[in-house]
Amino acid sequence: MELVFYAAEGRPEYAGLLGHLAHFPHENTTWLHWGHTKANGSPPEPVFGSDALNCLFFMPSVVQPDARLGAELSWRGEPVHLLWCVPISTAECSFKHEQGVLALCEVFRARSHPFIYAGDRPSYV
């Protein structure tokens, strides 16, 4: 997995978040995959100064050709896939835990959730 965060502009805090997340599995002897969620700290703190977004949801990239990367790029014989880091609210994180990944993805679809992060947004649930 390679982490990806789509943003309207480059900001150091975006790279900082990706760097932190890249080290997270190694420091905690765990892994990140599609459908996983992670609170931004304990207790969760706002992501990028947001009012509502304080967790992260990891999902396959919806951007083409990024979504097909694994068919064209491999490392040590394994396909490389992008793991899209999406800031979400505690309510959305709880919704995902209660209703499942597909239910949260459907909420994103129904709200026409943009793949490019352009700043804070209210919780969808």
SS3 label, residue 2? strand
Cα 123 to the center of its chain, rounded Å: 15
For 86, list phi and psi in degrees, rounded to 5: -120, 115
Strand residue runs (E) in the chain: 2-4, 37-39, 53-60, 74-75, 78-79, 82-89
Q: What is the pTM of this model?
A: 0.88
18-59 pLDDT per residue, tens: 999 998 878 888 878 899 999 998 899 999 989 999 999 999
Give me the residue spans of the domains in the chain: 2-110
